[in-house]
Structure 1
Amino acid sequence: MRLARFLTVLGLAAVLIAAPLAALPDVQQGPINAARSALQKGDGIAAEAALRNAIKAGAPRAAIAAWMGEAFLYQGELLKAREWLGPGQFTPESAGRGWRALGRLERLEGNLPAAGKAYDRALSYTPRDAQLWVDIGRLRYLGGEQIQAVDAAERALVAEPDNVRALEFRAQLLRDQSGWAAALPLFERALELAPEDLSLLSGYAATLGELGRTTEMLAVTRKMIEVAPKHPYAFYLQAVLAARAGKIDLARNLLARTGDRLQAMPAGLELQGLLELEAGNANVAAGLLEPLAQRQGANQKLQLLLARALYEAGDYGKLHERYDALAARPDAPAYLLVLLARAHEEQGNRAAAAPLLDRAAAATIPALMPIPERDPIGVLALRWNSAPGVPETAVPYVRSLLAARDMRGAVAVAERFRQLHPGSSEALALWGDVALASGQAGAALQAYDQSAQVRFPETLLLRMGEAFDKAGRGRDAMIVTANYLAAFPGSRLAARMAASHRAFTGDWAGARALLENLRQRGGNRDVRLLADLSLAQLRTDDVKAARESAERAYALQRGSGVAAQALGMALAAAGEEPQRARDLLDKARRIGGDNPLLAEARTQLAK
């Protein structure tokens, strides 16, 4: 009887709690409805104004807390949002929205466990809320559960197939996994539903640009500026187009129109640094790039850009301080070796420059090695012990353990990281790296394949290529590389790998097409690329083009063995300047040793 009375009272309490919003007078409900419509458009200011009217009309706090908190989130006012959302006092009708907004607030402030709890509360009210599943997916992705994030995206689309945020999120995940072309239909479908949505337009424009559809990309950016005349990302994308076309001044002017609104965007800072460097402002470029390079030690393109900026600024001391250790590694980029050597020469130290130039001239392709870490391994160990599940502590520590050849330690740390984040593409890739370094190419490939199901950067393709090679599965490497290039046509690395594969199988016309495209896309100063292109042109009986490419390579780097070989072979094939050809072939043999191609060229000369 007591239990029955308790349940009766509990049921009556639930009715009383549910009643207020349903019974709100029009003078209160009207402004709340207006606020909800404003939030649907992402207009937090208009929503706040409408809710203030509801308060003046006597609306209770619980009836507007969810909406007011969300309005402040749209305005970036996180402290004010917490005042309304933090207590968790919502009406049953708005509770799902309120807990979802609180979860978003916690996520924005980096409180991931608290965000998860808030989303769990929201699910108990609105289990088929597509936006809630999108938010859960973004939380999972941020927390290293990328595989589970894909599942959340799919749940969102099942709940609401036409939800634009769900379509956008799935497109973003698909883009990382299967390439830009795969994501395009989802962006287009979402834009049919919301043609002026700036977030969708931004993603669509970037996708078109990566696919090489620049005219369409430009049209979309102009649409973005029509909708929001000061939208910084539209001008950034236009600046990227101008930079790719070699219009440096135009690109700088476009980027200047963004003001300081791209300071938190690494790609924007990198582009700004590159443009300043091309404009001759090396000191400015170095100042922009150095803080970014500190945070992105694994970004080789960025590191080389900073090295060039320091060299051109004449800051040789900082150049040596930052990059001498990297140059000592067997896998040091040839471009970095040349920069450091030139800096030594400028300082009158030719003895230090000579061995660096000799190594750069050899132009060998080194084996993959762990990315170097600036901090001592003991410091990295302490950081990892305090936070073993954080990527920023686990990944650098594993790299250092691999560099120190501590395989047992690397396996233990990588396995612990994988256990803590079983759905993380990063954890799977890291485990693959450890397996590859341990000689387990098959296990590495399995981990890499699982990682690529979620996110497939070109650095992963490179590691997969080495794993395929060590596993004796060269044909599989060719298939994966060809598929990757089809999905990510802008990848220079994939194009180089595909060109090598085609040359290996005797498809010299295909290899030549890929290499010539790379040359047109900024590879006209790449000695190795030009030498490879010269060989492909020879094999397709275009001796004149082969000599032109080889002359270009040799002019760029006269100390390069591969450049000397390419030019010697081209002269031998043309039957021109036989003595010069002999000298070049001898030079190539002295630098890099003998090989079948040199023997072939000597035979041609003898005839």
Structure 2
Amino acid sequence: MTCNPDRSIRALLGMGGLAIVAGMLATIGGALPARADAADARTRLAQALTHYEAGHWTQAREAAQAATAADPKWGLAQAVLARTHLVLGEGVAAQGAIDRAVADGFDPQRIHQLRAHARLLQGDAAGAVTEADKTPARYRPYADRIRAQAVAAGGNVAAGLNALEAIVARAPQDAAAWVALGQIRMSAGDMVGAVNAAAAAVRAEPSSPDALRLRAETVRVQYGLVAALPWFEAALKRDPYGYDTLIEYAATLGDAGRASAMLDAVRRAMAVRPGSAQGYYLQAVLAARAGDYDTARSILDKTGRGVAGVPGALLLSGSIDLAQGNEGQAAVALRELVARQPTNVTARKLLALALLKSNAAQDALDYIRPAAVRGDADSYTLTLAVRAMERLGDRAGAAAMLDRAASPGRGRSTAFVPDEDLAMLAEDARLTPGDPAAAVPYIRALAAAGRNVEAVASAQRVAVANPGAPAAQLVLGDTLSAAGRMGEAADAYARAAATRFDEATMLRLVDARDRAGQRPQASATLSLYLAQNPASVAALRLAGQWQAAAGDDDAAIETLERLRALVGDGDAAVLAELANAYAGAGQAGIAQDYAAAAYRIAPANPLVADALGWALFANDNIGAAIPVMAKAVRIAPAHAGIRWHMAQIAAAAGDRAVAAANARAALADRGFADRAAAQALIAP
């Protein structure tokens, strides 16, 4: 590609108009000192402009640095270097280049827009506005964009959005303005607007790495991890050394379960920016996922303050400390994380465990109770609550929790209920009508108080006022679900999933469609999510359960083995489900091994006992199977599946009375599927 100096310099420095371009070309051609290295500087600067125009921004910076090295006193080269630093998000380096450019004779009136950008990148929103306002009219398009971003960063998001929307209306080919608009919309929760802005940015400038990266980020939210990868790769094809893109690409690969490719991307990012805190953090994540906690801690410590306070780093640090026996230190990081993300169930479980190990049972119960009282609380959450209650002497409460932990079923997924007073939440919602940030907690509190009619009406108003916000559709779906209107809830969740197909949205949509009698659509939704997020524990668990329930044991084995590889051998439920699948596939020996391992972990869980009893029966060990299965029946007498297994084992042992009694108990459940076989067993 040949360089178009007119276009390149205008793009780099924010200039417009033929007279300005002509003047700049004169500067390049006529203001060079009469030295041998001047020709090299001119060549290097031309290369910088060519790379910039092609979207090779890191290479453009390197060429501009070479130009300034060849002629350190050439102000224009310093200004071009500043612009390449800015497009790469390097505010401090850009500020230094700007100062050198002015010191070397570059007209300071031509550089206010660059100063504004540098200050914005350094977190000085007010200073960015001040510099943007000093910018002469001929450089205003660039300055106006920076000013709008600074206004939004300063807290007036609506004004910043309005300004950017006006800019793209005037200049629809301004890719940088579209990118800025998309980033702010996404931060504000307007995913429809963000998706549209990202698409417009790519149309305006297909070679822009920023536009391609924003498109990748919106696709990741809208469709999933796998769909986003080609967009990240397209951005890296333009700028192979783009640090921010490499980091996001690496994180996406890691979440998709592609550890080797993730490590390669991290190493490439750290070659660009040695000592990168984000790079060290991602390497620590890889080490922790592999169970090498000493290495993970060693690497995480290298980040210093670079990722301090980042939620992911707090969770990782707490997990490592727990694994290394540093419970008190783990609690410090996890307390901070729960304070910032009160609905983070994983953080609550880890914190409760750390507090229990530190003999702080009351604190542990306080943190785990909000998760334990939910209908969909998992057995581990309930077990943590049981341990805390037992230490506090609350045997009745512990017994009730233990019964729930041993129960084979789980309730529906629900949202966390806010702790604030309902009247205070109502006042916040009244003061900012239509704002999801204030309305959603109020609506959830209404639903929790049983005021479903008011909750649905409020949620409908918020959804209408914020059509592009997935959060508004989710809260509408939650209120409709609480009111028992599952078909309408599924429609609301589907609208949310159209722009934010994350795990929480997927689980709600699958559950609502299933409860609305739409099992094929629910299954299709789950399959689509797994195709995009192949390392999702929740999706793999649900898919394995559904495959087993449908009698597709081979598929269930494949899915559940993938799940076991992710969660390890300490999850009794996964081991029990694998045992059932292997038994169904005729591999009784493997089934018995898995079931025995599950039973050692959770002997009081009726489904685990059932899996062991059924595996023993499949392995022709009826004598050992009967007492284990009888135990499962005692713990969960109303479970039709357990009763039916007991009936078949008893029949094989020749005890027709016990077989018939258990078959009748199974038939009492209207949802029991093997009715014909059970009735045949009862028949004389």
Same fold judged by TM-score > 0.5?
yes
Sequence identity percentage? 35
Query: What displacement does 1:330 show?
Result: 4.1
1:83 aligns with 2:127: no
Matches of 1:510 and 1:334, distance apart in 2: 25
List per-residue Cα deviations over 1:15-57 (Å, max 9, x = no partner). xx99789758847766544533443444434433443355457
CA–CA distance in structure 2, aligned partners of residues 199 and 328 of structure 1: 41
Residue 207 (structure 1) shift: 2.1
Query: Which whole-Å deviations, capped at 9, do the CAs of 1:249-277 have from their partners, x for residues lacking one?
Result: 11111111101211242111111111111
Q: Following TM superposition, by how much is the alpha carbon of 1:385 offset from its aligned partner in structure 2, in angstroms? A: 2.0
Q: How do residues 426-465 of structure 1 correspond to structure 2 at under 5 angstroms?
A: 426-465=471-510
Alignment of 1:279-358 (within 5 A): 279-324=324-369, 326-347=371-392, 350-358=395-403
Farther-moved stretch of structure 1 (379-388 vs 344-353): 344-353
Give the 5 Å matches for 1:40-189.
40-53=87-100, 55-56=102-103, 62-85=109-132, 88-120=133-165, 122-123=167-168, 126-189=171-234
The CA deviation at 1:447 is 1.9
Task: Tell me which residue corresponds to 1:601.
Answer: 649
Which residue of structure 1 aligns with residue 630 of structure 2?
A: 586
Structure 1 moving runs of 4+ over 6 Å: 17-22, 57-60
SS of residue paired to 1:500: helix
Check whether the contact 1:370–1:400 (CA below 8 A) recurs between aligned residues: no
Report Cα offsets for 1:267-314 as digits up to 9, x if no partner: 111111111111111111111011211232222222212221211221
1:434-467 superposed Cα distances (whole Å, 9 cap, x missing partner): 2222232222222222211211111112111221
* Offset at residue 211 of structure 1 (A): 2.7
1:309-364 alpha-carbon deviations (Å, 9 max, x no partner) = 21122111211233345534544332122122223334555454333222211232
Pairwise mapping of residues 130-279 of structure 1 onto structure 2 (< 5 A)? Answer: 130-279=175-324
Which secondary structure state, in structure 1, belongs to the residue aligned with residue 440 of structure 2? Answer: helix
- Contact 1:310-1:319 at 8 Å conserved across structures: yes
Bigger CA drift: 556-565 or 439-448?
439-448
Aligned to 1:569: 614
CA apart distance, 1:575: 2.6
Structure 1 window deviating more from structure 2 (512-521 vs 243-252): it is 512-521
Which string of whole-angstrom CA distances, capped at 9 and with x for unpartnered residues, describes residues 53-95 of structure 1? 554577666532111111222333434323312xx24233321
Does structure 1 residue 471 correspond to structure 2 residue 477?
Answer: no
> Residue 64 and residue 540 in structure 1: after superposition, are their counterparts in 2 closer, same or farther (change >3 A)?
same
Cα deviation 1:141-191 (Å, max 9, x = unaligned): 222321121111111111111110010000111111222221111111211
| CA pair 30-172 structure 1, distance change in 2 beyond 3 A | closer
Residue 153 to residue 598, structure 1, CA distance change in 2 (3 Å): same
Judged with a 3 Å threshold, the aligned counterparts in structure 2 of structure 1 residues 74 and 325 are, in CA distance, closer, same or farther, namely closer
Q: Greater relative contact order (Cα 8 A, min sep 6): structure 1 or 2?
A: 1
Question: Unpaired segments of 5 or more residues in structure 2?
Answer: 1-16, 32-74, 656-684
- More deviation, 323-332/427-436: 323-332
The answer (yes or no) to whether the contact 1:297–1:373 under 8 Å persists in 2 is: no
Instruction: Please tell me whether the aligned partners of residues 428 and 451 of structure 1 are also in contact (alpha carbons under 8 angstroms).
Output: yes
Rounded to whole Å, the distance in 1 between the matches of 2:370 and 2:178 is 46
Match of residue 521, structure 1, among 556, 562, 566: 566
- TM-score of the superposition, structure 2-length normalised? 0.81
Query: Once structures 1 and 2 are overlaid, which stretch shifts more, 337-346 or 35-44?
Result: 35-44
Residue identity in the other structure for 2:130: E
8 Å contact from structure 1 (residues 95, 122) kept in 2: no
Letter in 2 for 1:605: A
Q: Could you tell me which of 400, 404, 412 is aligned with 2:449?
A: 404
Structure 1 residue runs without a partner (length 5+): 1-16
Q: Secondary structure at the match of 1:469?
A: helix
Paired with 1:343 and 1:145, the residues of 2 have a C-alpha distance of 41
Match of residue 35 from structure 1: 82
Alignment partners' CA distance in 1, 2:348 and 2:569: 20
Q: In the aligned structure 1, how far is the partner of 2:244 from the partner of 2:562?
A: 32
Task: Tell me if structure 2 keeps the 8 A contact 1:174–1:183.
Answer: yes
1:220 is paired with a residue of what secondary structure? helix
Give the aligned residue type for 1:568: G
Tell me what 1:540 maps to.
Answer: 585
How far apart in 1 are the matches of 2:626 and 2:248? 55
Contact 2:365 2:389 survives alignment (8 Å): no
Of 296-305 and 196-205, the range deviating more from structure 2: 296-305
Residue aligned with 2:308, SS: coil
3-state SS of 1:90 partner? coil
Change (3 A) 1:282 1:392: farther
Task: Give the drift of 1:558.
Answer: 1.9
Q: How many residues end up aligned between the 2 structures?
A: 589
Q: Distance in 1 between matches of 2:318 and 2:103?
A: 51
**Which amino acid is 2:629 matched to?**
L
Which whole-Å CA distance do the structure 2 matches of 1:527 and 1:286 have between them? 26
- SS of 2:653's equivalent in the other structure is helix
Distance (Å, rounded) in 2 between the aligned partners of 1:62 and 1:148: 35
Shift of 1:541: 0.9
Q: Is the CA contact 1:523–1:529 (under 8 Å) kept in the aligned structure 2?
A: no
Question: What is the identity, as a one-letter code, of the residue corresponding to 1:158?
Answer: R
Counterpart CA distance in 1 for 2:226 and 2:417 is: 34
Render the CA deviation track for 1:354-380: whole Å, top value 9, x for unaligned. 332222112322123342322232232
Counterpart CA distance in 1 for 2:552 and 2:448 is: 38
Question: Normalized against structure 1, the TM-score is what?
Answer: 0.91
SS of 2:305 mapped into structure 1: coil
Contact residue 98 and residue 122 of structure 1 kept, 8 A: no
Whole-Å separation in 1 of the counterparts to 2:611 and 2:485:
37
Give 1:9's aligned residue: none
Residues 564, 54 of structure 1: alpha-carbon distance in 2 compared, 3 angstrom cutoff: closer
Range 148-157 or range 380-389, more displaced = 380-389
Aligned-pair RMSD on alpha carbons?
2.5
